[in-house]
Amino acid sequence: MPPGDLAIWFFIFAELLAFGIFFVAYAFARAHNVELFNESQQHLNIASGAINTLVLITSSYFVVRAVAAIKQNFSRECARWIAAAIGMGGIFLAIKLFELYAKFSAGISLSTNTFYMFYLSLTIFHFMHVILGMVILTAVMLKARSGGYSAKLHTGVETGASYWHMVDMLWIILFPLVYVIH
Amino acid sequence: MQYKSQAVAKPYFIAAIGLFVGQILFGLIMGYQYVVGDFLFPAIPFNVARMVHTNLLIVWTLFAFMGAGYYLIPEEAETELFSPKLAIIMFWIFLVAGALTIVGYLAVPYATLARMTGNDILATMGREFLEQPLPTKVGIVIVALAFLFNISLTVLKGRKTSISLVLLLGLWGLAVFFLFSFYNPSNLVLDKYFWWWTVHLWVEGVWELILGAMLAFVLIKITGVDREVIEKWLYVIIAMTLITGIIGTGHHYFWIGAPEYWQWFGSVFSALEPIPFFMMTVFAFNMVNRRRREHPNKAATLWALGTGVMSFLGAGVWGFMHTLAPVNFYTHGTQITAAHGHMAFFGAYAMVNLTMISYAMPMLRGRSANSRSAQTLEMWSFWLMTVSMVFITLFLTAAGILQIWLQRMGSNPMSFMDTQDQVMLFYWLREIAGLVFFVGLVLYIWSFFYKKGEAHIAA
């Protein structure tokens, strides 16, 4: 059995499928428009994308520590690690907002060209998943803080952690695909 | 029946089935007009028959949804309905308004009806599926609000379960999205854009929540599987429904003048719309296999399983078939759409209503199930209706493929009417399948009155 609640895995697979189809569509559109994609890509802020990659990987590490903590019955420590992960999620969102703000200020929209259509939809779609992940982690944190989990019963922590790792993993694919690979 | 006030569901279910019969009769008239063009002309022109066919479908579905709400909410909330009297008053208002509307469609030309009913005050008429005159539309809003008021207060004073919350969410969404039928901008692109907010966000959005809640309720009752297990499935299914269905609206925006990115959004998200339907099928079979009791109503179990399978095929598979923009470029508005529309509406909404009625009606008449032989008859009606609907779908699909080939591909495409002559054979076959469907429907109704030898199964 996978860690966490089985239902979250159905959800994770469905999410991966949605992003997967989007990634394939991106590849398909790029193959028909290589020059446009390469040209537009040069205007993206790789630095902010790279920093955000580190931010999310760090947050995933915090979540791992939270799961390890609850397995030893340390509820408060578990809650603190999750709070740290949520904090990293917040940093990710802030950096992303600056990046998107710059793009919108430059007059870029979904209708600018096919590349920007994918860039904006994929990053905003992922952005919304980060928010959902933070909501799930917050619920887990609150329950952990009030002693709702134990070394024996901590499915909820693993459920939240699984979802968060998925959000992280999607960014690890999205960042090189959209920002880096020429 | 555990609560006295659940009895108000009965007239709603009876009216629903009555209107369903009307829908099928007009379907048969139209099906015949496809092959004999001047049949019943000028008394019932094709466009009027079509309007009556689709409007009756919507109205009987609404009647059945309301009946389902009145039946299952008291049982879920473990308390009597807030006001049974209000429910009965609304029933008569809705029935009279619905009947007058249909009479109006049939008795006077549509333009006259529009003039008579104040369409010049607020123009909302003349748009597919939302043809109802202004007073009817206002009536629908009043009835829906009174219904929601009634069941929401019932839930508030009683037990709050996931099933009633999901049902309420779906029904409130139904009412909210209907409000877009009053918005009729003169810009045709905007008109179409928001028209779909009623049409698509109903059938591929909030109605699916209602469907999920109704199916979950019946499955809990007939299988005795733990509520927690069923509720978890319900949540995952509705989450997938909303994730795919809301942005999936884009598959209607390909060619109406909306921005080009909708071709991507619509294709990607609506390609995933079969997932919640597939999960619903797996869910239904899984629960029945894990059943902890043998409910005497075998017919209702069959309908519940059928709903899962047929909604997946009709809405999921037949929808996916033409949902990708490059495919839809050729199939848009052909008989492929008609094929999908028939199987999806029957498989998802007609069948879940028949499931609910099949389960609840014996209860409402003071027994837990109809007699064995009555159920055998009902199962015959299930197979007749389901199999004939599969054939209707296959014939229309064949007609659609031929139509696309002759009319939209190749270097020398034929005109619309010349193409219609070429697919006539399939229209004949579809009409025959439609007659079999009608026999199935008559058997369904008859099964509720069938008394031969053995007694009904006591409550």
Q: What is the pLDDT of residues A58-81, one digit of tens each?
A: 999 999 999 999 999 999 999 999
pLDDT band at B453 (very low <50, low <70, confident <90, very high): low
Query: What torsion do the CA atoms of A118, A119, A120, A125 make, to the nearest 10 degrees?
Result: 80
The residue among B264, B278, B281, B286 with the most chain A CBs within 10 A of its CB, best to mutate, is B264
ipTM of the complex model: 0.84
Residue B459 has a pLDDT of 67
| Contact: B233, A7; criterion CB under 8 Å | yes
Residue B456 pLDDT > 90:
no
Lookup: tokens for B105: 């469609």
What is the share, in percent, of chain A residues with pLDDT greater than 70? 100
For residue A106, the surrounding DSSP H or E stretch is none
| Contact map slice: A 96-115 vs B, CB within 8 A | 110-111
CA nearest neighbour of A68 among A54, A85, A46: A85
- Determine which of A85-89, B13-17, B142-146, B367-371 has the lowest per-residue pLDDT on average: B367-371
Residue B386 pLDDT > 90:
yes
Domain boundaries, chain B: 1-160, 169-183+195-447
Query: With contacts defined as CB-CB under 8 Å, which chain B residues touch A22?
Result: 268
The alpha carbon of residue A152 is apart from the nearest alpha carbon of chain B, in Å, by 21
Say which of B236, B268, B271 has its CB closest to residue A11. B236
Residue A17 at interface with chain B, using a CB cutoff of 8 Å: yes
pLDDT band at B44 (very low <50, low <70, confident <90, very high): very high
The alpha carbon of residue B350 is apart from the nearest alpha carbon of chain A, in Å, by 27
Say which of B240, B261, B268 has its CB closest to residue A14. B240
Residue B451 pLDDT > 90:
no
CA nearest neighbour of A151 among A58, A60, A77, A62: A77
Q: What is the pLDDT of residues B66-87, one digit of tens each?
A: 999 999 999 999 999 999 999 9
The residue among B267, B268, B286 with the most chain A CBs within 10 A of its CB, best to mutate, is B268
The mean per-residue pLDDT over the stretch B175-203 comes to 97
| Contact: B232, A7; criterion CB under 8 Å | yes
Residue B66 has a pLDDT of 98
Per the CATH hierarchy, to which homologous superfamily does domain B169-183+195-447 belong?
Answer: Cytochrome c oxidase-like, subunit I domain (1.20.210.10)
| Contact: A110, B239; criterion CB under 8 Å | no
Residue A21 at interface with chain B, using a CB cutoff of 8 Å: yes
Query: With contacts defined as CB-CB under 8 Å, which chain B residues touch A29?
Result: 264
Query: With contacts defined as CB-CB under 8 Å, which chain B residues touch A108?
Result: none
The residue among B236, B238, B242, B247 with the most chain A CBs within 10 A of its CB, best to mutate, is B236
CA nearest neighbour of A88 among A64, A108, A72: A64
For chain A, the average pLDDT equals: 95
pLDDT band at B186 (very low <50, low <70, confident <90, very high): very high
Q: What is the pLDDT of residues B83-128, one digit of tens each?
A: 999 999 999 999 999 999 999 999 999 999 999 999 999 999 999 9
What is the share, in percent, of chain B residues with pLDDT greater than 70? 99
For chain B, the average pLDDT equals: 96
| Contact: A14, B243; criterion CB under 8 Å | yes
The mean per-residue pLDDT over the stretch B218-233 comes to 92
Residue A22 at interface with chain B, using a CB cutoff of 8 Å: yes
Quick one: closest CA in A to B247, which residue?
A125
The mean per-residue pLDDT over the stretch B170-198 comes to 97
Q: What is the pLDDT of residues B316-374, one digit of tens each?
A: 999 999 999 999 999 999 999 999 999 999 999 999 999 999 999 999 999 999 999 99
Quick one: closest CA in A to B231, which residue?
A7
Residue A128 at interface with chain B, using a CB cutoff of 8 Å: no
End-to-end CA distance of chain B: give it in Å, rounded. Answer: 8
Residue B458 pLDDT > 90:
no
CA nearest neighbour of B391 among B348, B359, B437: B437
pTM: 0.92
Task: Map out the domains of chain A with their CATH numbers.
Answer: 6-180 (1.20.120.80)
What are the residue ranges in chain A where pLDDT is below 70?
Answer: none
Q: How many CA atoms lie less than 13 Å away from A55 in the CB half-sphere?
A: 20
Residue A6 has a pLDDT of 84
Tell the residue number behind the tokens 């009030």, with chain if given: A146
Query: With contacts defined as CB-CB under 8 Å, which chain B residues touch A21?
Result: 268, 271-272
CA nearest neighbour of B333 among B192, B187, B217: B192
Assess contact for B459 and B367: CB atoms under 8 A.
yes
